[in-house]
Chain A
């Protein structure tokens, strides 16, 4: 186990290093000149040159990359060209909102997905099952900006139940969490359904029924815990899904998280912020996968780590 963890940690670090390199080279190749961006349209050539020198933008690529890595190791993500603030501070101040939204989304996707999956499994091959699965398919395949805008239009603009975007109260949280969670809910319902069907066929379920347990006791005491195993392992991987989703959802709902930060930075080619958010998301995805791999053997002793 210890060896496995160590190997995975090293692997993860390598992946992150690779990501810094790829992101850096991609952003380096963009023909936008940061010095000119900072200097603005009225600047003299000398001003631009001064800024380039101060930022080390006149150095060769490998030196710039090395400087960036050195900063990174000291926890320094650089300074935004346009926001004129430390990228670390920008991300730190927005991270709580993103984490809150993710927590909301996880609750939504589990509540909706698991319920749908269990109901569909129990009503297998009925009209209920089919319509639930069609619904989950719609959830999986609809673009989030469409769902978000639809929800916003119906529940906020027409019905006035929720505020039109923004941040702060529980009511602000409902629609964005739902939008972000619906995609996962679709996956979970399909997974929960097949997992549940699988488990319900097992011998130990028949035994449980045979010894006279009530239907709900069998369902919640025996079938569900076993059916949940493969589903739970997915939550870690979800983080990757969320990281791509938050950019859209946060922008639609005006949610002050790092997704919105990334979107604003991309529109304005604010390279240090794009770098920073990419790295933080990559870190979250790597961490999520790592944790998922660690958790699986804890909840299912049949799986051993080597």
Chain B
């Protein structure tokens, strides 16, 4: 899916997160204008899956769980409380009482059940249906044999019990992703396939106006259950504005946040201007950019060759090419993700050692191959740098710059793309948990036609370890589980299935009128901005 970016972020941002004591001092009121290049695709939480509508949906809808603003720490949302059974297979959620949908009706446990049934129903065509695979009865619903998830039971109007078919340590994260947002049945049935254009949720904002191709207006939900939230009365999203134009408008005071970020062409100019120093915000992302090497296509079936590629790439230079908007990577996980190994050194840049490895593999004279890349800037430039690095050790890689969908399609075939630079399509976590960085992109489940494991790396031993790690549902096992994941990803690097290149940083800008902790403007979960907590200085 295009620009399917779900990000994440810096644990160190947690320190600067909004605390309720601060939040209470902020007066509500005011408005802001956010600009975007593309029209918003849909605001249906079961369908929306791109970085543009992700945070909008979070503002319109609530789920059982959420994250503390600006952090990756789970917190209760509609769930006032929850309990987990000893075997880790039964989650019982107690709902907040008196929460109302935008249409005025009270939200109850029936709505939770309805929403989960709906998102898993194949007719909904939800791209997130797969996240609910651990709920008991999922397979029957997914196959169309049942309308309702067997594992989800309404105990009383404010209690819902969810039974899993296997222990799933990521289940609370699953309850926090947009796909688990609670929707009112009557509104979904009224609008049918157009619910995404007429969303009704229980979130901090409600949709007031949507003029296709021009603007969306969000209005504050006066009845929102969380006291003092949201801060703003109104948000206007103006769409169809190129990032450069958005930046100019911000500089002239006509807009407040360029939703697509600071355009690369203007990056150095803006970041070096002392006038904007305080308005630019940098944040981490749960993102890794990598080169995949198809282990099914010789000579990449030889680990020596894959290691040689790892050593040949000058990552610092690649980072310089994108004006330092990233940090070099040595392993699949991004630094802010639990399970990241701070002590791992990876394959250092060493062309001589790389050449020696190639010779060891019997390819001392080098070989010819192809490097697939998404054809938008800066990816072709990055691919050229990698191409030059590979040429230095004797690998002649021809660059195939294609449209995004075509690169993804090539990666999903077992014998088409020997190497792919993942830029512009790279994996960004759906939720801040290491398991999300394994299964689809490095596990056997993803090494299928049309899958995202473009290295076609399938190590059944590691798959078993991954399953074991995700069965550790007891919060007390948190450290043990992280350690298990750390070992898995280092084992992946021992086999050199990827050449990790860098982890992107996110840069955004806000107008002088807006207040709020920096962390919410580069929120790791409410991508790109946590709209609920932004406040206007002119009403203080």
Contacts and interface: CB of A to CB of B under 8 A. Distances in A.
B142 A51 contact: no
A209 to B, nearest CB: 54
B412 to A, nearest CB: 8
B252 A37 contact: no
A152 B242 CA distance: 13
Given A41-B4, A254-B240, A93 B41 contact: no
B139 to A, nearest CB: 9
Nearest to A160: B252
Contact of B248 (A37, A39, A85, A157): A157
B241 interface: yes
Contacts of A257: 213
Contacts of A164: 245, 248-249, 252, 254
Interface stretch (B70-78, B191-199, B288-296, B499-507): B191-199
Contacts of A303: none
Given A40-B127, A251-B242, A254-B241, A31 B213 contact: no
Task: Point out which of A41, A85, A89, A252 has the most chain B C-beta atoms below 10 A from its C-beta.
Answer: A41
Interface stretch (B128-136, B228-236, B347-355, B458-466): B128-136
Contacts of A79: 193
Interface residues of B, number: 55
Give the interface size class of chain A: 35 or more
Interface string A5-49: 000000000000000000000000011110011111111111110
A158 to B, nearest CB: 11
Interface of A: 30-33, 36-48, 50-51, 54, 79, 82-85, 89-90, 93-94, 97, 152, 156-157, 160, 163-167, 251-252, 254-257, 260-261, 264, 268-269
Contacts, number: 140
Contacts of B32: none
B486 to A, nearest CB: 23
B128 A254 contact: no
29 contacts: A33-B405, A33-B409, A36-B408, A36-B412, A40-B4, A40-B127, A41-B452, A42-B131, A42-B440, A43-B127, A44-B129, A54-B123, A82-B41, A85-B42, A89-B212, A97-B213, A163-B254, A164-B254, A165-B242, A252-B242, A254-B240, A254-B242, A256-B239, A256-B240, A257-B213, A260-B213, A264-B39, A269-B2, A269-B404
A46 B49 CA distance: 19
Given A41-B1, A84-B196, A85-B197, 18 more contacts: A31-B405, A31-B410, A33-B405, A36-B408, A36-B450, A37-B1, A37-B405, A40-B1, A44-B129, A44-B142, A47-B127, A47-B130, A156-B248, A164-B249, A165-B241, A252-B242, A264-B39, A268-B38
Interface in B14-43: 37-39, 41-42
